[in-house]
Amino acid sequence: MTGELAVAKVGEIGEDEAIVVPRATTGTVDDVAVVYTGGEYFAVDNTCTHEEASLAEGWIEDGIIECPLHASGFCVRDGAVQNLPASRDIAVHAVRVEGDDILVTPNPDRLA
């Protein structure tokens, strides 16, 4: 399908860091955090399911992104919530690397 977006170049996202791709760019209902951890790229909805907070500003380690407000963790691979206070998973989006480009395909369920 179309809709795949080049969101960054390889090397632009540091280890265990994330960038935010605005929803206006992705056409999704939430901003998308593109995460680089363990040598892989992942893309997840950027807003914590508990309260309004940008997950890209959170702590990233061992494949978990931890909300900067109340430390709920989410698996960057499948979006699964790890601990309260959040109790709902976050959506994930498909990512792949082609050449120098990091490409995100917005999750069809999350299109605006």
Q: What is the x/- site pattern for another protein, positions 54-83, by CB under 8 A?
A: ---xxx------x-xxxx-----------x
Q: What is the CA radius of gyration of the chain?
A: 13
| Cβ atoms of residues 82 and 75 within 8 Å | yes
C-alpha 38/C-alpha 40 separation (Å) is: 6
We find the least distance from the C-beta atom of residue 85 to another protein, in angstroms, to be 6
Which residue from 40, 51, 78, 100 is in contact with another protein, where contact means CB under 8 A?
A: 51
- Beta strands 40-45 and 5-9, pairing class: unpaired
Map the footprint of another protein across residues 16-45, applying CB under 8 A.
none
Task: Please report, as ranges, the residues that interact with another protein according to CB under 8 A.
Answer: 51, 57-59, 66, 68-71, 83-85, 87
